[in-house]
Structure 1
Amino acid sequence: MIRDTSGQDRPLTPASTVWSRHRRLLLAAGVLGVGALVTATALPAVQRMVAGGASVSQQRLGLATVEVGPLVRDVAGEGKVVAAMSPTVYALHGGNLVLRVKAGDPVSQGQLLGEIDSPDLRARLAQEQSNADALRTELQRAEVDGREQRSALASALESATIDLQTARNDLERQTKAFEAGAVAGMQVEKARDAMEKARITQAHAQAGIGLKDDSLKFELQARQQALQRQQLLVQDLRRQIDELQLRSPVKGQVGQLLVAERANVAAGAGLLTVVDLTSMEVQMQVAESFARDLAIGMPGEISGNGGQFRARVSSVSPEVVNGEVAARLRFEGDMPAQLRQNQRLSVRVLLDRREKVVTVNRGSFVEEGGGRFAYVVQDGQAVRRNVKLGAQSLSKVEILEGLKPGEQVVISGAQAFNGAERVSLAQ
């Protein structure tokens, strides 16, 4: 069988058909070029999204810039006015109370606030005063008796002295008569014996006066000491009687009445309080975390009553109650006028001031993770970075390591990162 030339024949394409095919190829190449350009432009963002996981809106975050400047560590809060001195008046003795003032009355130092009626104490004073009078009378009687006895002894001494002189004169006469041969020697001896007897009598009388003086001295001294003891007892009772009058220990205002009028009070019972308005302080509660830095003498500032007043920390409580410590500030210079007990004022205490330190605004990152890391904004991402914090204030925190001035840090809203190393940020 003879083959024909039909297998070698090729149909010709029209020119319009060829031009349409070239246009489609050019269009496809353009689309591919544009796609490649878009892919090259969006590739870094896609890579960041893939590396950082889910994206977080930057509008939900709080950002702060790391900067160099002063760091003022302070603690601020609300305080209440308290009296530096608010003594309580106590009943030193039992009895019926009679008050002369009411709560809120202004009083001066030493002013009579009231008195306690104690009939038993007054009766005891009268008895002891009577005993003192009796001892004084006995002392005077003893003095009179002593003078009488000494007078009698002095008379006996004078008689003995006269007898001695008479015996001495008689001995001289008898001696002269014996020498003249007028009397016997026996008369001389007899006169000598009489003189010796008179001398001994006179010596005993002299000694008797000395012993009696000593005896009277000791007796009178004993009676005087007994009278002094009794007088001291009377003085003590009078002091107790004076203590029945209640007087204000300070200048100020009567605070609270602790007992009712005309009440029968026992010894040691609290009666009323007096507030010293000339010495007021402001007490504030400080969180335990700041309390360890508080010290007596630190400067402070009290705001209220239309002004600001300088103050200093006067005392810090050693006890922590409900996570807080009580601290008191005392005004420096003149106090503001019209202060009232328990009045509320704003208080600020300066703990420390440091110059030229790297700081950033305080945020939740300080408490999260113990302040060991923070998220730094870099190229549209929040990158987790380890940091080391230093001193902290209510508004700022010192950065020791990990951050540089000018960098932006996420200070709030980082909980949405779930601890990721990198998080993409959407505008």
Structure 2
Amino acid sequence: MSVVPMKNEPEPAAHSGGAMDRVIEKKGLSPRMKIGGGIALLLAAILLFWWFAPRGSSQTVEAQRLAISEVKQGTFDDFLPLRARVTPLLTVYLDAVEGGRVEKILVEDGATVVKGQLLAELSNADLQLSTLARETEVAEQLNNLRTTELALSRTRLENERNIIQADLDATKARRQYELQAPLAAKGFVAGRVFRDTSDDYQYQVKRGRVLRAAQANDERLQSSQLSQLRATAASLQSALAIAHANLDQLKLRAPVSGQLTAFSIQVGQSMSRGERIGQIDSPGRTKLEAGVDEYYLGRVQPGQKATIELGGKTYRMKVAKIYPQVKNGEFQVDLWFVDPEPAGMQRGQSLQAKLILGDPSPARLLPSGSWYTDTGGAWVFVVDPDGDGAIRRAVRLGRRNSDYIEILDGLDPGEKVITSSYAGFLDRTRLDLQRD
């Protein structure tokens, strides 16, 4: 048996325990899981940013900058404080009825005068000449009227004289007729003569009738004319009296008694017609003038009570007059004293008055503040119970005075409200209160 030589082949290596171990590859996250995780982290970051980032409807404010008050249950005193000014109860203004040049000044400003007292004298040459011309004109017209009246009187007397003469002639004619009538019947008087006598008698009778009718007509016309003439004369006399009165207006007199103020004219000064020269204030009688917010226009009525405190005493007053014209958000009222006036008050002095609007009553109260002006009382910022924020809330308000405002709806006792100014966050619905 022959042996065939073979190529040298490497002998198989001996198997060891190490040769039996198998390398296992580590498996990572799948791409899908990585994408999902990334999205989840992005959403979480966005959520955290949204949560901690300031919102457009909120604002962070330092708590120490704000005034925070608590809503309380108490008694609401319905009054309104007023700043009132002392003025005379009655003031009469002095105006120059006729213009002119100041010739004399007989009193000084601040003096006490009596009614009719002469204060100053003016001169006006044009007015004096005009008055003289008016006097001359009136005198001429009155003379003409008297001449006409005298002529009418003469006409009346002439008519009466004619009637008397006609009556006399009629009496004579009747007597002649009565004398000749029986003689003519017996033939002792010619028929022609008796007929003439009869005709004359009839004529005189008719003539008397006509004259009486004419006299009655003239009397009626003359009476009407005389009435008109007398009325014209009276009118002319009145016009003359007015002219004299205008001339007398150059002497300035006090129309009432009182204290003369704002009287600052000088000798030689020219005054225009209607120019204000001063005023007279009623002595010892004063009133208070006060401005009231237009919000209370419907709640203030004449006769309403008011009080002032002066010298440790309280004096009662009442609303005497209301001026409903609103100017700069206020209307004016006059307050008169019910009690005797306090002594020592000076014109122009300012006093604190209290206008009573209603009786005290229980109510929910919130201190007044700048917030009311900013919101108009429509809403407030209510502080959270934990004090970390404040939420905007609508409210309904009632009466208000200088200290408190009545809460009708929207707030409960114990809740806290920001009562300082809302300037800077009027458009916010939430405030985050930052504390030290």
Say yes or no: TM over 0.5. Answer: yes
Matches within 5 A, 1:240-259: 240-243=243-246, 244-245=248-249, 246-257=252-263, 259=265
Give the corresponding residue for 2:222.
219
Give the corresponding residue for 2:380.
373
Within the alignment, does 1:164 sit opposite 2:184 as a pair? no
In structure 2, give the amino acid aligned to 1:174: A
Task: Write out per-residue CA displacement over residues 307-355 of structure 1, whole angstroms, 9 at most, x where no aligned residue.
Answer: 4322233344444433443333232243333433322222222334451
1:378 is paired with a residue of what secondary structure? Answer: coil
Task: Write out per-residue CA displacement over residues 115-171 of structure 1, whole angstroms, 9 at most, x where no aligned residue.
Answer: 555423541453224642553355345424532452244123302321232123212
Out of 78, 89, 92, the position equivalent to 2:94 is: 89
In structure 2, give the amino acid aligned to 1:165: R
Q: Return the alpha-carbon distance in structure 1 between the equivalents of residues 121 and 89 of structure 2.
A: 26
Q: Return the alpha-carbon distance in structure 1 between the equivalents of residues 311 and 356 of structure 2.
A: 21
Contact 1:150 1:213 in 2 (8 A): no
Give the corresponding residue for 2:195.
192
Give the corresponding residue for 2:23.
none
Within the alignment, does 1:399 sit opposite 2:407 as a pair? yes
Within the alignment, does 1:101 sit opposite 2:102 as a pair? no
| Greater helix fraction, Structure 1 or Structure 2 | 1
In structure 2, give the amino acid aligned to 1:386: R
Farther-moved stretch of structure 1 (412-421 vs 74-83): 412-421
Give the corresponding residue for 1:312.
318
Out of 397, 408, 433, the position equivalent to 1:390 is: 397
Within the alignment, does 1:173 sit opposite 2:160 as a pair? no
Contact 2:61 2:431 in 1 (8 A): no
What is the deviation of 1:105?
1.9
Q: Return the alpha-carbon distance in structure 2 between the equivalents of residues 115 and 276 of structure 1.
A: 23
Task: Write out per-residue CA displacement over residues 345-397 of structure 1, whole angstroms, 9 at most, x where no aligned residue.
Answer: 22222334451111132245545655523434735656647352412222112
Farther-moved stretch of structure 1 (95-104 vs 164-173): 95-104
Give the corresponding residue for 2:39.
none
1:139 is paired with a residue of what secondary structure? Answer: helix
Q: Return the alpha-carbon distance in structure 1 between the equivalents of residues 67 and 101 of structure 2.
A: 70
What is the deviation of 1:89?
2.9
1:342 is paired with a residue of what secondary structure? Answer: coil
Farther-moved stretch of structure 1 (199-208 vs 258-267): 258-267
Contact 1:171 1:192 in 2 (8 A): no
Contact 1:171 1:188 in 2 (8 A): no
User: CA 1:237 to 1:69, structure 2 compared with 1: closer, same or farther past 3 Å?
Assistant: farther
Give the corresponding residue for 1:69.
74
Give the corresponding residue for 1:126.
135
User: CA 1:412 to 1:138, structure 2 compared with 1: closer, same or farther past 3 Å?
Assistant: closer
Q: Return the alpha-carbon distance in structure 2 between the equivalents of residues 205 and 365 of structure 1.
A: 106
In structure 2, give the amino acid aligned to 1:155: Q
Q: Return the alpha-carbon distance in structure 2 between the equivalents of residues 325 and 298 of structure 1.
A: 16
User: CA 1:247 to 1:415, structure 2 compared with 1: closer, same or farther past 3 Å?
Assistant: closer
In structure 2, give the amino acid aligned to 1:274: I
User: CA 1:159 to 1:289, structure 2 compared with 1: closer, same or farther past 3 Å?
Assistant: closer
Q: Return the alpha-carbon distance in structure 2 between the equivalents of residues 306 and 261 of structure 1.
A: 47
Q: Return the alpha-carbon distance in structure 2 between the equivalents of residues 146 and 55 of structure 1.
A: 109
User: CA 1:233 to 1:54, structure 2 compared with 1: closer, same or farther past 3 Å?
Assistant: closer
User: CA 1:258 to 1:212, structure 2 compared with 1: closer, same or farther past 3 Å?
Assistant: farther
User: CA 1:253 to 1:204, structure 2 compared with 1: closer, same or farther past 3 Å?
Assistant: same
Contact 1:157 1:206 in 2 (8 A): no
What is the deviation of 1:287?
3.8
Farther-moved stretch of structure 1 (124-133 vs 166-175): 124-133
Q: Return the alpha-carbon distance in structure 1 between the equivalents of residues 61 and 279 of structure 2.
A: 66
Q: Return the alpha-carbon distance in structure 2 between the equivalents of residues 342 and 223 of structure 1.
A: 61
Q: Once the two structures are aligned, what percentage of the paired residues are identical?
A: 21
What is the deviation of 1:191?
0.9
User: CA 1:216 to 1:422, structure 2 compared with 1: closer, same or farther past 3 Å?
Assistant: closer
Q: Return the alpha-carbon distance in structure 1 between the equivalents of residues 417 and 300 of structure 2.
A: 30
Task: Write out per-residue CA displacement over residues 85-126 of structure 1, whole angstroms, 9 at most, x where no aligned residue.
Answer: 323233434445555433222223444444555423541453
Runs of at least 4 residues of structure 1 off by over 6 A? 53-57, 413-419
Give the corresponding residue for 2:48.
none
Please provide the CA RMSD for this pair: 3.9
Within the alignment, does 1:282 sit opposite 2:284 as a pair? no
Q: Which runs of 5+ in 2 are unaligned?
A: 1-58
User: CA 1:222 to 1:419, structure 2 compared with 1: closer, same or farther past 3 Å?
Assistant: closer
In structure 1, give the amino acid aligned to 2:83: E
Q: Return the alpha-carbon distance in structure 1 between the equivalents of residues 274 and 392 of structure 2.
A: 67
Out of 355, 358, 361, the position equivalent to 1:355 is: 361
Give the corresponding residue for 1:151.
161
Give the corresponding residue for 2:231.
228
Q: Return the alpha-carbon distance in structure 1 between the equivalents of residues 147 and 391 of structure 2.
A: 102
Contact 1:60 1:413 in 2 (8 A): no
In structure 1, give the amino acid aligned to 2:407: I
Task: Write out per-residue CA displacement over residues 48-80 of structure 1, whole angstroms, 9 at most, x where no aligned residue.
Answer: xxxxx99967x7764544332221243324222
User: CA 1:191 to 1:81, structure 2 compared with 1: closer, same or farther past 3 Å?
Assistant: same
Out of 326, 329, 338, the position equivalent to 1:332 is: 338
Contact 2:109 2:264 in 1 (8 A): no
Out of 201, 205, 218, the position equivalent to 2:204 is: 201
Farther-moved stretch of structure 1 (367-376 vs 202-211): 367-376
Contact 1:65 1:360 in 2 (8 A): yes
Contact 1:136 1:227 in 2 (8 A): no
Q: Which runs of 5+ in 1 are unaligned?
A: 1-52
2:214 is paired with a residue of what secondary structure? Answer: helix
Q: Return the alpha-carbon distance in structure 1 between the equivalents of residues 433 and 270 of structure 2.
A: 78
